[in-house]
Amino acid sequence: MISLLCLSLLATVAALTVTIPSAPGSGNAPSISRSLVSLSIEQDRWPEWAGTSSENRFFLNTLENLNAITGAPPDIRIGANSEDHTQFSAQVEAPQYADVIFPAPTAIVPYPEALNITVGNAYYQLADHLPKGTHVIWGVNFGSFNLTAAVLEAKAIMNAFYSPPFKAAGVTLDYLEIGNEADLYANNGLRARSYSSSQYVQEWTTFASNISDAVKLNSTGTRFLVGSFAGSSSKTTGFSPQAIYSEGVLDSVPGSLIAAFSEHHYSGSFCTGNGGLLQDLMTKSTIRSNLTIYMTDIIATHEENLDYILGETNSYACHGAPGVSNTAGAALWALDYALFASQIGISKVFFHVGIGFKYSLIQPVALSRSTLDGSPLSSPLPPHIQPPYYAALIACELRGSEKDARIAEIKVDDARIAGYAAFENDRLVRAVFINSQAFFEVNNASRTSVHLDLAFSGTRPRKMTIKRLAIGYADDVSGLTWGGQTYETVDGRVGGKLQLESNLVDYGVDIAETEVVLLSFT
């Protein structure tokens, strides 16, 4: 952990003037959801996330931390790869909840997804443990191409969410998702090698018609999510929103119940053991190029009056790369990634998590083997948060709890520094700056900082408070503090004394390599 005193003694190697907009402007600062940073959960171990006979208090504490900042908990998507390996049986009940078969762990994938999951009604009912106000997406099996099984799942899901306990809990089902990454079915054996987007549209329409009829979806507030593709051709051929729109997915009867398109995206892959470099992940230009490839898809989706979300995303596919996805540097990546996504028309970013996954923001239960190589641990690793969780905290603090909250990217003429300004009721209230230059212990060099001189497009605030995400090294996996406080506690709640700096705006602010600063203006 690096102290604030040490940060103040760092050598400033550059000075940079940044102009912060004093007002949101016309269309330059989109409205931001309180649930911008949300979670996608691998559903094979859902009972452990939620808790069974009693709620998983550690996991719920981590959600309620965010709820306390913005006034809304993260949205939760439950599905992913194991979504297409799930079957329903009314015979599976509490206290079993799910009958799960896992493959053997490997050094590359120490905590693999299940090969088969059979669940009953009680499995879905566990979602009433979620914080009040939680909005949920739940996926049903499309990969097995078993219509009866998909309808049974959908009935059980809807029966749970529209039951009195869920209404009392204030947990709602926004979307049913039919299948996970159907564009990969031709490669993973779930469909013929010739499988196309037009076949997907035909099959999806059949499944959606039967499900909507069976659960009377039109009379509820729940809608369909479409797509959930692993990639996009961004053309009217291949798998993309443009393709399935042109092929009529929205023109069918169930198509009228589609309210959003979901894209999945990872910045790289660790599926064969090839890890990515941490600096590459964190780099400002890389983050932007990874997201702007979807601009034509986003525009096409908005033209259909649909929401566009990243329904599953994280750093490196196949649960992350060791020494990259689980590090402090990944926290900076996640923060810039989510905030930039909001600037190009992506309404919510669902960071994928799973028990034992290297890139998880939260590890909700004790682990018996290493997440990095699968080796047995001498003693169980208790529930804990990982560095990227701090990105969720900071994004929430930047956004705040006001209903009318907008965020605009601050144009910073530096390849290392990203910035965003937050507005409440058209008034500038906060700004965040991210220095994505990775600082490593092995660099054997002094840590440098950049001095930011603050200019404003209009009224200039006089004073500010400064809150820092303090990090020792970019590849640290623990020891981060946010405003002097830690969330690396036994219960996931904040610990330690809050440390803020106060200063005149005229003095500007220093930001070190691998650091985040949040400025609150008065």
The 10s digit of each residue's pLDDT in 72-90 is 999 999 999 999 999 999 9
Instruction: State how far the Cα of 20 lies from the Cα of 419, in Å rounded to an integer.
Output: 9
* Chain center to CA of 314: 7
Closest CA to 110 of 345, 376, 486, 314: 376
Of 3.30.390.50, 2.60.40.1180, 1.10.275.10, 3.20.20.140, the CATH number of 4-28+404-521 is 2.60.40.1180
CA atoms within 13 A on the CB side of 162: 14
Query: Which parts of the chain have pLDDT scores under 70?
Result: 1-13, 26-27, 443-444
Task: Let me know: does 39 contact 131? Beta carbons within 8 Å.
Answer: no
The 10s digit of each residue's pLDDT in 286-303 is 999 999 999 999 999 999
Per-residue pLDDT at 7:
43
DSSP letters, 266-326, are EEEE-TTS-PPPHHHHH-HHHHHHHHHTTHHHHHHHHHTT-EEEEEEEEEEETT--TTTTT
Per-residue pLDDT at 2:
42
Signed CA dihedral, 263, 154, 306, 349: sign only? negative
Q: What amino acid is encoded at 112 in this protein?
A: P
Interhelix angle 197-215/147-161, nearest 10 degrees: 50
Instruction: State how far the Cα of 86 lies from the Cα of 78, in Å rounded to an integer.
Output: 12
CATH fourth-level superfamily of 37-399: Glycosidases (3.20.20.80)
Signed CA dihedral, 284, 422, 452, 13: sign only? negative
**Do the bridges between strand 349-353 and strand 448-456 make them parallel or antiparallel, or are there none, so unpaired?**
unpaired
Per-residue pLDDT at 341:
98
Paired with 80 in beta bridges are none
**Residue bearing tokens 């330690």:** 496
Residues 6+ apart with CB under 8 A from 155: 214, 215
Q: Where in the chain is the domain with CATH 2.60.40.1180?
A: 4-28+404-521
- From residue 480, alpha-carbon distances to 130, 331, 498 in Å are 27, 10, 14
Joined tokens for residue 62: 């981590």
Per-residue pLDDT at 249:
98
Per-residue pLDDT at 76:
98
DSSP letters, 101-114, are E-PPP-SS-SSPPP
Q: Where in the chain is the domain with CATH 3.20.20.80?
A: 37-399
Task: Let me know: does 282 contact 315? Beta carbons within 8 Å.
Answer: no
